[in-house]
Homo-oligomer: A and B are copies of this chain.
Amino acid sequence: MIITEVLSVGTELLMGQIANTDAQYISKRLPDAGAGVYYHTVVGDNDRRLAGCLRAALARADIVITTGGLGPTQDDLTKQTIAREFGLALEEDDESRRRIDAFFAARGKQATVNNYRQALIPRGAEVLANDHGTAPGCMIRGTGEYDGKTVIMLPGPPGELRPMFEKYVMPLYRELAGRAIVSRFVRICGKGESEVETILMDLIDGQTDPTFATYAKDGLVTVRVTASGNTEAEATEKADNGTRAICRLLGDNVYSLTDEEPEQTLIRLLKARGLTVAAAESLTGGMISQKLTSVPGASAVVCAGCVTYTDEAKQKLLGVKPDTLARFTAVSAETCREMAEGMRALSGADIAVAVTGYAGPRVSDEPVGLVYIGAAYVGNVLVKECRFTGSRERIRALTAVNAIDLTRRILLNNADFNA
Interface residues in chain A, defined as those with a beta carbon under 8 Å from any beta carbon in chain B: 11-21, 23-31, 37-44, 46, 49, 53, 56, 71-73, 107, 112, 114-115, 132, 159, 193-194, 197-198, 213-215, 217, 222, 224, 279, 281, 283-290, 292-294, 296-299, 302-310, 312-313, 316-317, 346-348, 360-361, 389-394, 396
Contact = CB atoms under 8 A, between A and B. Distances in A.
Contacts of A26: 16
A27 B13 contact: yes
Nearest to A307: B305
How many copies of the chain does the oligomer comprise?
2
Give the dominant DSSP class at A's interface.
mixed
A107 to B, nearest CB: 8
A38 B281 CA distance: 43
A41 B41 CA distance: 5
A285 B293 contact: yes
A365 B13 CA distance: 39
A288 B394 CA distance: 19
B38 A14 contact: yes
A2 to B, nearest CB: 14
Given A38-B49, A39-B41, A361-B296, A215 B12 contact: yes
A390 to B, nearest CB: 5
B31 A15 contact: yes
Of A18, A46, A304, A390, chain B has the most CB atoms within 10 Å of the CB of A304
Of A132, A213, A346, chain B has the most CB atoms within 10 Å of the CB of A213
A385 B230 CA distance: 56
Contact of A194 (B19, B42, B112): B112
Contacts of A292: 285
Given A213-B11, A361-B296, A394-B159, A309 B303 contact: yes
